[in-house]
């Protein structure tokens, strides 16, 4: 394998789910700049259209709610049919309801699980069916540092993110013989619409920044490199793993710095 162009996605079709904002928008833009033909899928049709328009070229968009299994299958089948193949699928959507276990509402439980876990499963299954049939492809789901470490109020969100990791590992084993790779990105704290609640509280925002070894939050654009690495030939022997892009968050076991350090 040539070491030239390891990150070149020219001629590949990439469906970026959640591409209408935040990390998904950044990944969609980055994939296009590396040569991919991008399809932006998002529950917000207007946002998806805006991003595809900004990308230009062969980029297109469509509305997609990943909680709707048949719709996910139809959407990815349509991408493969219209573009001739489906090489890359990235799935970024997620929600969080920060509530202690003893106060967690059943409806909120269902909302978080249905989008984060069931939605990711729907994408994994639909992409897997198309890619295993064509004999190639890369699927990248989004986990989180919460798959490993938690804090009060994160129970259901953390459970879904840990579940995504296990889905990725199982799919990697099942799809590998067909030439399909499956991995996850595990972000730390990223400045996106999902974290607006934290950004609005100066102390909370600063505490998260200080927990990172780099002393700051990530920008959405900083998730593009890890994601496209996993999607590209640079990661041709990488499957069933989680790439934690967390600024060193999970490397430290606390926030206190001993005297003299």
| Residues designated catalytic | 157
122: Cα separation from own chain's centroid? 14
Residue 111, strand partner residues: none
DSSP one-letter string for 43-65: SSHHHHHHHHHHH-TT-EEEE--
How far apart are the C-alpha atoms of 57 and 9, rounded to whole Å? 15
Distance linking the first and last C-alpha atoms of the chain: 46
Q: Tell me how far apart the alpha carbons of residues 165 and 147 are, in angstroms, rounded to a whole number.
A: 7
Closest by CA to 110, choosing from 88, 132, 95, is 95
Pairing of strands 137-142, 190-191: unpaired
Among the listed residues 139, 119, 142, the one whose alpha carbon sits nearest the alpha carbon of residue 130:
139
H/E run at residue 245: strand 242-245
Q: Where are the alpha helices (DSSP H) in 94-178?
A: 106-112, 119-134, 155-175
- 111 by Cβ neighbours in 10 Å (0-12 / 13-18 / 19+) ranks as middle
What are residue 145's phi and psi, to 5 degrees? -60, -25
């Amino acid at each position: 394998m040539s070491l030239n162009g390891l990150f070149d996605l020219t001629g590949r079709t990439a469906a970026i789910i959640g591409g209408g904002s935040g990390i998904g928008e950044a990944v969609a833009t980055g994939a296009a700049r590396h040569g991919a033909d991008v399809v932006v899928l998002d529950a917000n049709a207007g946002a998806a259209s805006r991003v595809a328009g900004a990308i230009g070229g062969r980029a297109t968009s469509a509305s997609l709610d990943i909680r709707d299994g048949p719709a996910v299958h139809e959407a990815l089948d349509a991408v493969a049919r219209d573009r001739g193949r489906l090489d890359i699928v990235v799935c970024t959507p997620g929600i969080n309801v920060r509530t202690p276990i003893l106060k967690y509402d059943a409806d909120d439980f269902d909302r978080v699980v249905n989008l984060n876990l069931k939605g990711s499963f729907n994408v994994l299954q639909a992409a897997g069916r198309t890619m295993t049939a064509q004999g190639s492809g890369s699927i990248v789901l989004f986990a989180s540092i919460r798959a490993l470490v938690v804090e009060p109020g994160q129970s259901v969100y953390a459970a879904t993110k840990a579940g995504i990791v296990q889905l990725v590992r199982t799919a990697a084993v099942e799809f590998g013989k067909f030439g399909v790779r499956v991995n996850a990105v595990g972000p730390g704290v990223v400045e996106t619409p999902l974290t607006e609640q934290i950004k609005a509280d100066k102390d909370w925002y600063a505490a998260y920044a200080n927990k990172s070894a780099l002393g700051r939050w990530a920008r959405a654009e900083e998730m593009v490199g890890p994601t496209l690495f996993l999607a590209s030939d640079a990661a041709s022997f990488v499957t069933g793993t989680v790439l934690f892009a967390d600024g060193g968050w999970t490397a430290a076991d606390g926030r206190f710095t001993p005297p003299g350090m």
